[in-house]
Structure 1
Amino acid sequence: MTSKLRDKVVVITGASSGVGRITARLFAERGAAVVLAARTRETLEEVAAECESAGGRSLVVPTDVRGEEAVRELARRAVEAFGRVDVWVNNAAVTLFARTEEAPYEAYRQVIETNLFGYIHGARAVLPHFRQQGRGVLINVASVASLVGQPYTSAYCVTKFGIRGLGESVRQELLDAPDIHVCTLMPATIDTPLFQHAANYTGRAVQAMPPVASAERIGRAIVRLAVRPRRELIVGGAAKLMAAQHDLAPGLTERMMARQVDKNHLQDRPAPPTPGNLFESMPHVSGVSGGWKAAGGGLGRKLAAGLALGLPAAAALLLLRK
């Protein structure tokens, strides 16, 4: 895999923390040139130093993916510096916890502007380059929330469902370009600072809902897709179980998810309203991990077991309906 990625040019949005940060490092370890995009230059410079220490080349391009022209400039800078783009990873994401009717409207809009339009801007910026080259891999980091909705995060779920649809549509438009690939990656909860960054108007503190996967596991999945592209990839047993259960019995899955989110995503302690990082970045919280994985290990196993037990029940309900 290292030899296949050596000297490849990889653009990563949301590269300042979490999955984006570890993914940049993993590509750099394999000799790739990484183009790092996020809103804060200072944090990106830290990531660039990590990548160069790992053996890769890097270029920092501060970019707010909400702006189409800014993302086009990101693509232009990458091509100008390295001559081409081989892999583009759409990864920048924010989230919002609130009842749909109670969320500040502008906060709701910012989630859609970043998570969905940011990915659309990325696709529109890089696809002309891919077509000119005759090859390329676009990787859209989505979520199991592309398949199974959740309460209090409707803005986030809207964007993730949209990202999956974007991938399906673009793949169909690329039937005349078999060496251009569009991949949709769908993990469950990841141990990143996303939840420290989250906007929250529920009145309750939020936490990562177990089971929680490491950011490095998701980064490695992205690297594998760059070498062996797939249409869609669900990462993690819990995510696969949730997707299967939703296919078998969507109503039951919705009720189970509502209870799990209320019990395990929202904490039993108050929290003041906050816009999180929707409008401005939070560079002081920019590591790879959010510190969630170790805290939720035992509960994660229990929830995964509960989902597994739910599958036979869902299958039985499906048979009863026929």
Structure 2
Amino acid sequence: MRVKKAVVVITGASTGTGRATALRFAGKGASVVLAARRGEALEELAAECERRGGRALPVQTDVGNAGDDETLAARAVEHFGRIDVWVNNAAVTFFSPFLDVPLADFRRVIDVNVMGYVHGCRAALRQMQQQGSGVIVNVSSIVGEIPQPYTSAYSMSKAAVRALGVSLRSELKLNKQNRIKVCTVMPATIDTPFFQHGGNYTGRKAVAMPPVYTPDRVARTIVGLARSPKAETIVGPMGRMMVLQHRLAPRTMEGVMAVQVDKTHLSRKEPASAGPGNIHVPAPDGREAAAGGGWHGRRRTAQRRVAAGAALLAAAAGARAVLTRPGSRRH
């Protein structure tokens, strides 16, 4: 696909990976349809996309509502004539012990992160089947492969996104709709405002778990998939290593993930007040409407990769020692 001529719909476009993806597509000359809950942030992003050489249409959208996705698709087609790429990226999360999180927060994470992708895929596929071609990119996470403690709903949702991609690819193949592609992206930790925005019931501030990669790294991957679709792509060498290790030794790697979340994902120094964050209501317009989250993804990726690699090996050794103690159960 020629990205320069493409019409690209991006959900969760106001900050983080969505914003970086919009700017990268616009810089290639694409027409971008920008969807998120914050209208003013979308207007500002649309202006920036046009300054970079693309065309832009902001559409205030809550992907948790099926009708909003249908409206989004209709506006894209009405304005630009078609939909070549649909990027399902919008997501929310909380950090909480399983029994402490309010069920309303849990349901909302599933509504946005799973049903939002379902709504987006349905809206996109209807249009792409009429056109006979198109690419859907669903942003999952490595936690869809290796679930984390304290993010139960988010981990569930990202596993569901992977399953959705496999199922849709199978249907398209059986129906011989070979010019419609469904791709799944699985990033490691990305430097976005996502962690500041999340709900929190742990009493500990959520921080980005190292190593941290830039949102533009994911954006480059998504643009690359629009050109040359691939079923699943992991973003970040540490993420690739963790997924490989999980497939070779799942129990050990799950123990490593648990230790890493406790040590490096939740601060032991900074407290956090309990609350739902942006799960139900978006952050005010103008607040943290940026791609980066201040976690220094570009500057510190290399040193964090080394430190995290050492910590990962140490944690693996510790987890292995626990599992091999006399009396420990094996599966």
Query: TM-score scaled by structure 1?
Result: 0.94
CA distance in 1, matches of 2:34, 2:118: 18
What is the CA distance between 1:296 and its match in structure 2?
Answer: 5.7
Alignment correspondent of 1:265: 265
Alignment correspondent of 1:67: 65
CA distance in 1, matches of 2:151, 2:103: 13
What is the CA distance between 1:308 and its match in structure 2?
Answer: 6.0
- Is 1:253 paired with 2:253? yes
Alignment correspondent of 1:293: 296
Alignment correspondent of 2:326: none
Instruction: Please tell me whether the aligned partners of residues 245 and 311 of structure 1 are also in contact (alpha carbons under 8 angstroms).
Output: no
Alignment correspondent of 1:108: 106
Alignment correspondent of 2:275: 274
Q: Which moved more, 1:293-302 or 1:67-76?
A: 293-302
What is the CA distance between 1:314 and its match in structure 2?
Answer: 10
Query: Which one of 263, 288, 307 corresponds to residue 302 of structure 1?
Result: 307
CA distance in 2, matches of 1:308, 1:266: 20
SS in 2 for 1:292: coil
What is the CA distance between 1:10 and its match in structure 2?
Answer: 0.2
- Is 1:194 paired with 2:232? no
CA distance in 2, matches of 1:296, 1:207: 15
* Cα distance change of structure 1 residues 296 and 149 upon mapping to structure 2, 3 Å threshold: farther
Q: Which moved more, 1:262-271 or 1:181-190?
A: 262-271
CA distance in 2, matches of 1:192, 1:311: 28
Instruction: Please tell me whether the aligned partners of residues 253 and 316 of structure 2 are also in contact (alpha carbons under 8 angstroms).
Output: no
Q: CA RMSD in A?
A: 2.1
Query: TM-score scaled by structure 2?
Result: 0.91
Q: Counterpart amino acid of 1:70?
A: D
What is the CA distance between 1:271 and its match in structure 2?
Answer: 1.2
What is the CA distance between 1:306 and its match in structure 2?
Answer: 4.2
CA distance in 2, matches of 1:278, 1:226: 29
Q: Counterpart amino acid of 2:18?
A: G
What is the CA distance between 1:32 and its match in structure 2?
Answer: 0.5
Q: Counterpart amino acid of 2:277?
A: G
Stretches of structure 1 that go unaligned for 5 or more consecutive residues are none
Q: Which moved more, 1:202-211 or 1:266-275?
A: 266-275
Superposed counterparts of 1:191-230, under 5 Å: 191-230=191-230
* Cα distance change of structure 1 residues 309 and 247 upon mapping to structure 2, 3 Å threshold: farther
> For 1:257-278, what per-residue CA distance to the aligned partner results, in whole angstroms no more than 9, with x for missing partners?
1111100000012211021100
Instruction: Please tell me whether the aligned partners of residues 245 and 310 of structure 1 are also in contact (alpha carbons under 8 angstroms).
Output: no
Runs ≥4 residues deviating over 4 A = 294-297, 308-315
Superposed counterparts of 1:1-322, under 5 Å: 4-175=2-173, 176-268=176-268, 269-282=270-283, 283=285, 284-293=287-296, 297=301, 298-307=303-312
> For 1:93-119, what per-residue CA distance to the aligned partner results, in whole angstroms no more than 9, with x for missing partners?
111100111111101111111111100
* Cα distance change of structure 1 residues 5 and 299 upon mapping to structure 2, 3 Å threshold: closer
* Cα distance change of structure 1 residues 134 and 309 upon mapping to structure 2, 3 Å threshold: farther
What is the CA distance between 1:148 and its match in structure 2?
Answer: 0.4
CA distance in 2, matches of 1:186, 1:313: 27
> For 1:69-104, what per-residue CA distance to the aligned partner results, in whole angstroms no more than 9, with x for missing partners?
110010011001111000000000111100111111
Percent identity of the aligned residues? Answer: 51
SS in 2 for 1:192: coil
CA distance in 2, matches of 1:163, 1:311: 28
Instruction: Please tell me whether the aligned partners of residues 255 and 319 of structure 2 are also in contact (alpha carbons under 8 angstroms).
Output: no
> For 1:6-41, what per-residue CA distance to the aligned partner results, in whole angstroms no more than 9, with x for missing partners?
121000000000011111011011110000000111
Instruction: Please tell me whether the aligned partners of residues 255 and 316 of structure 2 are also in contact (alpha carbons under 8 angstroms).
Output: no
Instruction: Please tell me whether the aligned partners of residues 248 and 314 of structure 1 are also in contact (alpha carbons under 8 angstroms).
Output: no
What is the CA distance between 1:241 and its match in structure 2?
Answer: 0.9
CA distance in 2, matches of 1:28, 1:189: 24
* Cα distance change of structure 1 residues 287 and 250 upon mapping to structure 2, 3 Å threshold: same
SS in 1 for 2:273: coil
